[in-house]
Amino acid sequence: MKRIFASADEFIRRSDWKDLAIVKFCLFSIGLLVGLQITEKCKKGVRIAASVVFTLTYIPLMVKYLGILTGKGEKA
């Protein structure tokens, strides 16, 4: 596992914003494909879970980004 995480860290270090945008589009697309396979009966629970995950991941990302944008974030 350490090797996988180390290679992911290296990928991020070598990537620019365009590479990361492509990753996000890829993940979004696979999410749509998976979402198309969910039955009507299960959609409400999936929507709730997706909303919770989105909220829990979006807030820290935006806090970090806004810190960088205002110049108050950590220097890499």
Amino acid 2: pLDDT: 92
CA distance 40 to 51: 17
- pLDDT tens digits, residue range 8-60? 999 999 999 999 999 999 999 999 898 889 998 988 998 999 999 999 999 99
Confidence of residue 73 (pLDDT cuts 50, 70, 90): low
pTM for this model (two decimals)? 0.64
Instruction: Quote the pLDDT of residue 20.
Output: 92
Question: HEC profile for the chain?
Answer: CHHHHHHHHHHHHHCCHHHHHHHHHHHHHHHHHHHHCCCHHHHHHHHHHHHHHHHHHHHHHHHHHHHHHHCCCCCC
Q: What is the reported pLDDT for 10?
A: 93
d(CA 75, CA 39): 46
